[in-house]
Amino acid sequence: MIEVLNLSALVLRNCIRKLFQAFVLILFFGSVFILLGKQLYKGVLTQKCVVLPPANLSNAEYSSFVTNSSNWLESKSDYYLCGNSTGSRPCPANYTCLKG
């Protein structure tokens, strides 16, 4: 009877150890993919075409100008999304692509 209990405890301990190792492995790869995804898609859908601001604005005025939605280029149903990297949509003349 005691041998059966010892064997059961040994099997249970080995199973818990392997389950813990699998959990740590899943947590590690999940964290890697989460960080990778965050870095890849960080700010991708927040860049908008903004009217070129006047050159003589202070920092506060520039920030207010850029965040004012009336200065953003609108497309058919939403604001025109753009990007500064190769293959993304450029802004038309007199507009620049900034984070909105």
How far is Cα 44 from Cα 75, in angstroms, rounded to an integer? 17
pLDDT of 11: 92
> Whole-model pTM above 0.85?
no
Predicted local distance difference test score (pLDDT) of residue 43: 62
Same domain? 3 vs 37 = yes
Percentage of the chain exceeding pLDDT 90: 32
Q: Do residue 91 and residue 52 come from a single domain? A: yes
For residues 94 and 56, state if they share a domain: yes
Q: Examine the domain organization and report whether 1 and 37 are in the same domain.
A: yes
Question: For residue 95, is pLDDT > 80?
Answer: yes
pLDDT digits (tens, 9 = 90+) for 6-23: 889 999 999 999 999 999
Domain match, 55 and 16 both: no
In the prediction, which pLDDT does 86 show? 76
Contacts 24+ apart (CB under 8 A), 44-47: 44/83, 45/81, 46/99, 46/100, 47/81, 47/82, 47/83, 47/84, 47/97, 47/98, 47/99, 47/100
What domain range includes position 86? 47-99
Tell me, yes or no, whether 52 and 26 share the same domain. Answer: no
pLDDT in tens, 48-76: 889 998 888 899 999 999 888 888 888 77
Rounded CA-CA distance 14/89 in Å is 55
- Residues 66 and 85 placed together within one structural domain of the fold: yes
pLDDT at 100 over 90: no
**Distances, alpha carbon 73 to alpha carbons 52, 53, 87, in Å:** 11, 13, 20
